[in-house]
Amino acid sequence: MIVDMLKKFDQSPQISQFLRTISTAMAKRRGLPMLMGTLFLIASGLCFAVVIPALVISDNLPTPALWLCLPLALFYVGVIIGFIGFMLATPLGEEYRSG
């Protein structure tokens, strides 16, 4: 039963057309997934930066718990810097390093 459903899914012309369209669009915009990932990460980090202090201020969370969030905040900063570095290094390529 599941195998038959997967065959229909695999042979669906609508899904095939959708994948072709996405593939063609993404070929022109190779950096878009990395940019979207960075934007989602920044949005998540901003939510984190607003919610945790709000919980501490409202006395629902003890103040020392804020210090426990420092490693997660550093993680966000590190990943964002890494994504930005990757986005800058990829378009420059080998020619930039050898010049």
Same domain, yes or no, for 49 and 19?
A: no
Same domain, yes or no, for 52 and 41?
A: yes
Same domain, yes or no, for 57 and 40?
A: yes
| DSSP 8-class letter at 7 | H
Same domain, yes or no, for 5 and 41?
A: no
pTM: 0.55
Same domain, yes or no, for 20 and 64?
A: no
Instruction: Compute the distance between CA of residue 71 and CA of residue 43 in angstroms, rounded to an integer.
Output: 18
**In one letter, which amino acid is 68?**
L
Domain that includes residue 6, residue range: 1-29
Q: How many domains does the chain have?
A: 2
pLDDT in tens, the chain (99 residues): 778 877 887 788 888 888 888 878 777 777 777 788 888 888 888 888 888 778 777 877 676 777 777 778 788 888 888 888 777 776 655 555 555
